[in-house]
Chain A
Amino acid sequence: MRGRARVPAAVALVLWLLVVAIPVYFIVVTSLRPADAYLSHGALPVPTDLSLDNYGRALRLGFSGFLRNSAIVTVATIALTLGAALPAAYAIVRNRSRLVRAGLSVFLFGLAIPAQAVIVPVYLIITRLKLYDSLTAIVLPTAAFSLPLAIVVLTSSLRDIPDELYQSMELDGAGNGRVFLRLVLPLSRPGLITVGIVSGLNAWNGILFPLVLTQSSRWRVLPLGLWNFQGQHGTDVPGLMAAVVLSALPMLALYLFGRRHLLRGLAAGFGR
């Protein structure tokens, strides 16, 4: 009985393995293929002479700088999103005034509103604030559009804290600040990890805000760096693939480092 389900499952797994592995193989192998061999050798054979030149070219084009910019934008977006959303969620959970609830409704409305819809006014506002062509210009709107989901997730997270805990702290005369630091912050950690991952992915992947809100190569983030590489050196697919591999390294390090937290955080955030 049990065995019957195994064969199709195994076939499906192998198929999916191929679907995932072939592109990854293509990316890695191409990144190691000498640039002039790419067009003549075809896409799949294992290269006979491996070359790291492609990585050199990618690095010379300033990829370390793009990496740094992307890292800054991602970390700052996560920090700003969490820093704004957690106090808001705290207020929403503990304060039942009409105003606060109206505020919650507004955030909920924003849940599925796509950021690109307001890109023109956001651009105008950023220039008025004299932030055009800076990393701050990317962080602020990215964080703003991460807020609705963050608040939804964190509010739920906070509601799981038993009321008695709040009450006992309040009876001890703890002010809001202390309740927040001693109770809310530690107990909302799973939710914070979830929000951090989602808003971090948004910032790391974002193209539109950096594209419209920055200009100089000094503040270029990775996605734009990759795109620009393709635009300027279109024939250099191996170079592009080397850049792609380089751009994945920080994520790989982060994954190896924080795998357990990642799984636990996601399980907490979107679990049963």
Chain B
Amino acid sequence: MTMRMTRRSVLGLAGAAAAGLTVAGCGTSGPAGRGGGAIQLWVLQSDTENPVLKKRIDAFDKHSSVKVAMTTYVNDPYKQKLQVAMGSPNAPDIFFNWGGGNLAQFVDAGQVQPLDAALADHPAVAKAFLPSVLAGATLGGKRYGLPMSGMQPEVLFYNKTVFDAAGAKPPASYSDLLKLVDTFKRKGITPIALAGAQGWTELIYLMYFTDRIGGPDVVDALVAKKPGAWRHPAIRAAAEHCVELVERGAFGTNYPSVSSDNQAASKLLATGKCAMHVMGSWEYQTQVASSPKFVSGHQLGWVPFPSVPGGKGDAKNVVGVPTNYFSVVKGGKHVEQATRFLLDTLAGDPYVDAMIGIGEIPPVNGIKPKLAASKAADFATFCYDLVSAAPHFQLAWDQALSPSVGTAVNTNVQKLFVKQLDPAGFVKAMDAAA
């Protein structure tokens, strides 16, 4: 949640969150009851994605006896409104979700329709999506959701001009990264830009190191709330890697004051004050908007997050936001039609093309030529290949974990990065919070 917060209205944070507290709280845009027999579809508000979806709904409505009614919500209250509505007569038929732990609670409560039978009848649809992304909504071997938005992997961005001047190559491994830190420090350039005023930027490092060192199972145990999961040695080792970077001066000295709200870190990269910046793929759009010449002059480079030699995790794994999903509510009036709408729409060319058109990278097989012809061809293709090749796409922890643990991890990772906690202390604090 915190991760998306920075990209959405801050106001959503609490004000709107409160709106979800009770059913009585909704009513701004909710459907007036379930009358009319339409397929109720709930989705997050987005100025770019909603119109694309609306067009597909109109197309579907033309040849369907049951129409689709779309209701949009602001990010943060959405989770609450959904949770209140599920299992009640006010439940939607199709709902937007984040997969993983978020979806699992509804599946556990028996509220979500498995899509396996329907997908078996439409094998082309199942094959259309990238397996690592589809896996995010696969629980207990059953498929509960289909990807409906673009992928947002977190990658390492770098300033090519600064690298060329130093005669350096982007890092492939952790030891490369450490050497680069020393190289740029000697040149008086802050090696890595880090907006440390918020914890989630620092969490990216911890998540990647944990995955590289221990593999996805470590995080699965955290999400499953297994006792002692935070005491896994990989987490401690990942925290030690973070501290090593801090102590080596990788982030300079000011990073805890740098706010991610004003995108100062992006500016530091673009102006060459910093050499690297690890961030979600949206950084590309940020740079296009705030430093257009930096991007159009091909000075912005990107590589996957470095590998950690000797780690159990596959270096091809990716961390970030794999996608968002649409799932069908079990026991609703329109299960069949709702499923058909998803099958017809999400993997279809009109939807995928329109998504590419608004700068998204749909997790769909074989769209490389389309991406290559899009505005941000280089970067889109890179992301696409990165995720296509990834055996595992880890959902960001602050989304995957429960809200209270997500809050705690953001606070404690900040303490780790300002050395108020050592790695052992971090593990202890998280063990207590979980």
Contact = CB atoms under 8 A, between A and B. Distances in A.
Interface of A: 39-40, 119-120, 123-124, 127-128, 132-133, 210-216, 220, 224, 227-228, 230-232, 234-235, 237
A230 B22 contact: no
Given A231-B10, A231-B11, A235-B262, A212 B271 contact: no
Contact of A235 (B11, B27, B271, B290): B290
Contacts of A124: 21-22
A214 B21 contact: no
30 contacts: A39-B271, A123-B18, A123-B25, A124-B22, A127-B25, A132-B19, A132-B27, A133-B28, A211-B11, A211-B13, A211-B14, A211-B15, A212-B14, A212-B15, A215-B16, A215-B74, A220-B11, A224-B15, A227-B11, A230-B262, A231-B8, A231-B9, A231-B10, A231-B11, A232-B9, A234-B259, A234-B261, A234-B262, A234-B263, A235-B262
Contact of A224 (B8, B11, B25, B271): B11
B297 to A, nearest CB: 16
B267 A215 contact: no
B267 to A, nearest CB: 6
Given A211-B14, A215-B15, A127 B74 contact: no
A237 B27 CA distance: 35
A123 B28 contact: no
Nearest to B262: A234
Nearest to A40: B271
Contact of B267 (A39, A119, A220): A39
A14 to B, nearest CB: 28
Nearest to B260: A234
Contacts of B259: 234
A212 B15 CA distance: 4
B271 to A, nearest CB: 7
B24 interface: yes
Interface string B10-47: 11011110110110110110000000000000000000
State the 6 A-B residue pairs at the shortest beta-carbon distance, nearest first: A231-B10, A234-B262, A211-B15, A212-B18, A234-B261, A127-B24
Contacts of B14: 211-212
Nearest to A216: B28
Interface in B367-387: none
Interface of B: 6, 8-11, 13-16, 18-19, 21-22, 24-25, 27-28, 74, 259-263, 266-267, 271, 290
A228 B9 contact: yes
Contacts of A215: 11, 15-16, 19, 28, 74
Given A211-B15, A224-B11, A235 B267 contact: yes
Contact of B261 (A40, A211, A214, A231): A231
Nearest to A236: B262
A210 B28 CA distance: 16
Best-buried of B8, B19, B290 by chain A (most CB within 10 Å): B19
Contacts of B261: 230-231, 234
B262 A127 contact: no
B22 A210 contact: no
Nearest to A227: B10
Contacts of B260: 234
Nearest to B13: A211
B327 to A, nearest CB: 26
A127 B22 contact: yes
Interface of chain A: mostly helix, strand, loop or mixed: helix
B266 to A, nearest CB: 8
B46 to A, nearest CB: 14
B263 A213 contact: no
A270 to B, nearest CB: 34
Given A123-B21, A133-B28, A213 B262 contact: no
A231 B262 CA distance: 8
B15 A128 contact: no
A213 B19 CA distance: 8
A63 B28 CA distance: 23
Contacts of B18: 119-120, 123, 212-213
A228 B15 contact: no
B372 to A, nearest CB: 30
Contacts of A119: 18
B425 to A, nearest CB: 30
Given A120-B18, A235-B290, 20 more contacts: A40-B271, A119-B18, A123-B18, A123-B21, A124-B21, A128-B24, A132-B25, A132-B27, A211-B11, A212-B14, A212-B15, A212-B18, A214-B15, A215-B19, A230-B262, A231-B261, A234-B261, A234-B263, A235-B262, A237-B262
Q: Which of A133, A220, A230, A235 has the most CB of B within 10 A?
A: A235
A266 to B, nearest CB: 33
A208 to B, nearest CB: 8
Contacts of A232: 9-10
A228 B262 contact: no
A26 to B, nearest CB: 15
Nearest to A220: B11
B263 A235 contact: yes
Contacts of B22: 124, 127
Contacts of B11: 211, 215, 220, 224, 227-228, 231
A212 to B, nearest CB: 5
A133 to B, nearest CB: 7
A90 B183 CA distance: 76
Contact of A120 (B19, B21, B74, B271): B21
A230 B19 CA distance: 22
Given A123-B21, A128-B24, A230 B10 contact: yes
Contacts of B16: 215
Contacts of B28: 133, 215-216
A211 B12 CA distance: 9
B21 A213 contact: no
A213 B15 CA distance: 6
A39 B273 CA distance: 12
Contacts of B25: 123, 127, 132
A123 B25 CA distance: 9
Contacts of B24: 127-128
A215 B19 CA distance: 8
Contacts of B8: 231
Most buried by A among B6, B11, B25, B271: B11
B19 to A, nearest CB: 6
